[in-house]
Structure 1
Amino acid sequence: MENKEYIDSGILELYVYGLLSETESEEVATMAKNSTEINDEIIAIEKSIIALSSSFSPFHSVANYEKIKAKLELKHAKVIEMKPTGNWSQYIGWAAAVLLMIGIGYQYKQLNLTSNQITNTENEKIKIEKELQILELQNKAIETSLAVVRDVKNTVVSLGGQAVAPGSSAKIYWNKETKVVYVDAAGLPEPPEGMVYQVWALKLNPLSPTSIGLLDDFDENNQRFFAVNSTGDAEAFGITLEPAGGSLTPTMEQLYTLGKV
């Protein structure tokens, strides 16, 4: 066993307190003779106990105190073998020192527990704050959607499913005065990876499509309600499925929904 491990094991304190067996005491004494580090640690422990004994044993006589001190003092850097005694009053100070050490250890443990609880509380607080922010954003999105749906100035254009996806549907909310356009895409399936829905404002004669936006982050938009670019001149609206980033012209084979104003 390394010296540090031997010192940290607590056996030196038990040796100084006289709580080891005769065999164990002899082993410690031998270790101390062969190791300056262990010998110095024993000296330090004994000096600490002398100091603690003087403060925790107010009822000792001067003669008893000097006897204890004489037994603990080292001369010529040699370890004094502690001999058991029948006078237990001499060990009251030592017992007090042990209790003090135990108390300090307990308080340190409690301090660590309290520190961990504070850390956990702070982490929980941060988590709750993030969840509240998400809820606020969701509530704001719902309020926006409701305001658009309830606005009597909006023209509602229903888009029906086409050959590629007959079950698809969508709605356009278009304010012709402000030219603002919203898309309710709740009736569209989630686009495949690497694809995106693109919204088109159409002139019919001749057919002239104009892109007014992409329905990005489709899977993250729980309401499936999107604001797209404004338009003031449209006779119909259509939605196609295009490669990520969109296309300059609509891919008619991927026309999902279409509806006239």
Structure 2
Amino acid sequence: MELYVLGDISAEEKLQVEDMAAKYPEIKAEITEIERSMEFYAEEHAVEPSEHLRTRVLNSLVINLGDDNTFTKGITHQDDDRQYIDNQDNDNIVTLPAVRANGFYKYAFAACLTLLLISIYGLVNIYSKLQESNTLLTSLQQDKQRFANQVNLMDNQLDMYRDTTYKVLRLKGMPKTPTAAMILAWNAVSKKVMVDVQSIKLPKNDAQHQYQLWALVNGKPVDMGVFDAPATDTAGVKEMRSIASAAGFAVTLEPMGGSVNPTMDQMVVIGTF
């Protein structure tokens, strides 16, 4: 890039650098910084020419069209006895060593820089695609797990209805809740009581109340646990407390957490075998 600023590169190399600078702001900023550094160096080492030298340069441009061969290294002065050359203007001239660039290293540096930029660009693209692939893979795994869970729940629900040891009971609404209904299954062997969550059709309970399931055993209610409507449980079936025998089941609306005894005027559904 230093050679580009100095103008010591071919037209093809100049186009390559300008193309890279247009694509990558970092390269353009580096070129601008090099230009500023060179300008600063030139200003720091600038030498104000003497009036005699300025006049000679201007006269040479007009008369000789810039032929530097007409210059002498000093100004000739004539006294009465002698003639001498004043070289005081030349004392302030700082001669910089000529820059000799090796063509091989110049092209090698440009090639290395180009390969480095291409590699960085490729790595950025690969990393971006890898991140997208990981995100997609995570999403697919989550979908697969949700699908597997749904299949397992459906299998459990079907097993409940296919298992002959389960007694399926449909609970129907009371006179004040005629549209209320739900289905549960009781297994006399395993003593499990399973509520079909998708079958629950009860008015939505508020934050201060929950529905409570009761088993009717010898004419007395036995607490089987609480649940909400609509069901907050994501399972297809909800397992309640176990019981060895029951003549039927009923549901009442109770304060949050359930009650010791059912509130009879808050009964919403009931069913008997």
2:213 aligned to which of 199, 217, 220: 199
Quick one: distance in 2 between partners of 1:81 and 1:257?
104
Structure 2 counterpart SS, 1:198: strand
The residue number in structure 1 matching 2:55 is: none
Q: Is the 8 A contact 1:164 1:253 kept in 2?
A: no
Q: Is the 8 A contact 2:153 2:235 kept in 1?
A: no
The residue number in structure 1 matching 2:59 is: none
Deviations 1:86-128 (A, max 9, x none): xxx9656434423421321121121122122222222322222
> Within 5 A, what are the aligned runs for 1:73-222?
93-185=105-197, 186-189=199-202, 191-194=204-207, 195-203=209-217, 205=219, 208-215=220-227, 218-221=231-234
* CA radius of gyration, larger in: 2
The residue number in structure 2 matching 1:232 is: 244
The aligned length equals 196
Structure 1 counterpart SS, 2:242: coil
Mind listing any 5+ residue stretches in structure 1 that lack a counterpart?
1-5, 16-23, 34-77
Letter in 2 for 1:157: L
Q: Which moved more, 1:236-245 or 1:103-112?
A: 236-245
Mind listing any 5+ residue stretches in structure 2 that lack a counterpart?
1-25, 46-93
How far apart are 1:221 and its partner, in Å? 2.2
Q: Which moved more, 1:105-114 or 1:115-124?
A: 115-124
How far apart are 1:193 and its partner, in Å? 4.4
Q: Is the 8 A contact 2:214 2:223 kept in 1?
A: yes
Question: TM-score, length-normalised on structure 1?
Answer: 0.62
Letter in 2 for 1:173: A
Quick one: distance in 2 between partners of 1:178 and 1:222?
20
Q: Which has the higher contact order (CA 8 A, sep 6+)?
A: 1
Quick check: which one's helix share is greater? 1
Q: Is the 8 A contact 2:205 2:211 kept in 1?
A: no
How far apart are 1:9 and its partner, in Å? 2.1
Quick one: distance in 1 between partners of 2:43 and 2:128?
40
The residue number in structure 1 matching 2:253 is: 241
Shift of the 11–183 alpha-carbon distance from structure 1 to 2, 3 Å rule, reads same
Question: TM-score, length-normalised on structure 2?
Answer: 0.60
Quick one: distance in 2 between partners of 1:113 and 1:232?
65
